């Protein structure tokens, strides 16, 4: 398989409300993480950081323009690969050890990271067999109800266990925007990882259903509106009533 050039690895799409989607177009959609850059007055916010196979700081100038807080929605390989590149790193306390001590198994790189997840391989010397997320110990541990403050914008931490123990979503009430991580998005949801929990997943979905969202920016696949948000969760809940 051919390799991509580093300058082509990332793709940026400008959204409303000072939000930019950063993704890795040569990773197949199911495995392709959405990284969300949010502009604030005093500092910027980055929700998730991709696989880490190409440096974000070297090839996406947007993430170095201002002081930046990098938040991990959870600690699977496709979401924390470049967290080590940032000085201000946040994660829910339930997954702090995974961010500091990532292994192939704990981050799900094993079994998912193979050449088959790419349409073009990352630049040399990348090898799927030796891919490893780098340690990025958190500088701040998050809990439900905490606030990430950018000066003129605030994001409430919503603990959303189920997909993983320390999964979080970020809620900006002022714009009715939810950054949902991997607990809910408009695509196949993953409920069977080694640390998933069915009862927690159900409770998290019930909680998110009632949020008065205008737009949801998920961990994978395209963003969607409030009506679609309720439809996705309602269908999921109806199919999982035994877990309530």
CB 218 within 8 A of CB 181: yes
Nearest Cα to Cα of residue 17 among 240, 173, 147: 173
Instruction: State residue 171's pLDDT score.
Output: 98
Residue 1: pLDDT above 90? no
Mean pLDDT within 15-37: 97
Better pLDDT: 243 or 188: 188
- Tokens read off for 140: 């701040």
DSSP state, residue 48: -
Q: Can you give the pLDDT at residue 241?
A: 81
Residue 123 pLDDT > 60: yes
Position 7 pLDDT exceeds 70: yes
Beta strand extents in 42-193 (DSSP E only): 44-47, 68-71, 88-92, 140-142, 147-149, 154-159, 168-172, 177-181
Summarize pLDDT for 68-110 with one digit per residue, the tens: 999 999 999 999 999 999 999 999 999 999 999 999 999 999 9
CB neighbours of residue 194 within 10 Å: 8
Sole residue written with tokens 């490893």: 132
Residue 204 has pLDDT above 70, yes or no: yes
Rounded to 10°, the helix 198-209/226-238 angle is: 150
The pLDDT score that the predictor gives to residue 21 is 98
Beta-strand ranges (E) seen in 15-167 are 19-23, 35-38, 44-47, 68-71, 88-92, 140-142, 147-149, 154-159
In the block, residue with structure tokens 């070297």: 58
- Taking the CA of residue 181 as centre, how many other CA atoms within 13 Å lie in the half-sphere pointing to its CB? 31
The pLDDT-based confidence of 243 (bands split at 50, 70, 90) is: low
52 pLDDT more than 90 = yes
Quick one: average pLDDT of 207-215?
97
The answer to whether residue 192 scores a pLDDT higher than 60 is: yes
Confidence check: pLDDT of 236 > 90 = yes
**Residues facing 129 on adjacent strands:** none
**In this model, does residue 244 exceed pLDDT 80?**
no
Q: What is the DSSP string of 21-47?
A: EEE-TTB-GGG-PPEEEE--SS-EEEE
- Phi and psi (nearest 5°) for 230? -65, -35
Q: What percent of the chain has pLDDT over 70?
A: 99
Average pLDDT over residues 161-178: 98
Mean pLDDT over 142-146 rounds to 98
């Amino acid at each position: 398989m051919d390799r991509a050039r580093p300058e082509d690895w990332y793709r940026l799409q400008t959204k409303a409300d000072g939000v930019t989607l950063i993704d890795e177009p040569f990773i197949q959609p199911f495995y392709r993480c959405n990284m969300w850059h949010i502009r604030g007055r005093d500092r910027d916010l980055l929700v998730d950081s991709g696989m880490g196979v190409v440096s974000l700081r070297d090839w996406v100038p947007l993430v170095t323009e201002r002081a930046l807080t990098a938040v991990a929605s959870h600690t699977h390989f496709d979401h924390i690969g470049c967290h080590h590149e940032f000085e201000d790193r946040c994660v829910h306390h339930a997954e702090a050890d995974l961010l500091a001590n990532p292994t192939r198994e704990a981050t799900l790189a094993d079994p998912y990271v193979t050449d088959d997840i790419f349409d073009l391989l990352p630049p040399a010397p990348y090898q799927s067999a030796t891919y490893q997320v780098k340690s990025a110990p958190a500088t701040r541990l998050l809990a439900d109800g905490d606030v990430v403050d950018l000066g003129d914008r605030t994001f409430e931490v919503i603990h959303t266990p189920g997909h993983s123990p320390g999964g979080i979503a970020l809620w900006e009430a002022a714009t009715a925007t939810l950054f949902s991580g991997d607990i809910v998005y408009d695509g196949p949801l993953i409920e069977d990882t080694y640390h998933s929990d069915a009862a927690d997943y159900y409770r998290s979905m019930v909680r998110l259903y009632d949020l008065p969202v205008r737009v949801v920016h998920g961990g994978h696949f395209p963003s969607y509106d409030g009506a679609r948000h309720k439809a996705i969760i309602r269908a999921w809940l109806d199919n999982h009533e035994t877990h309530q």
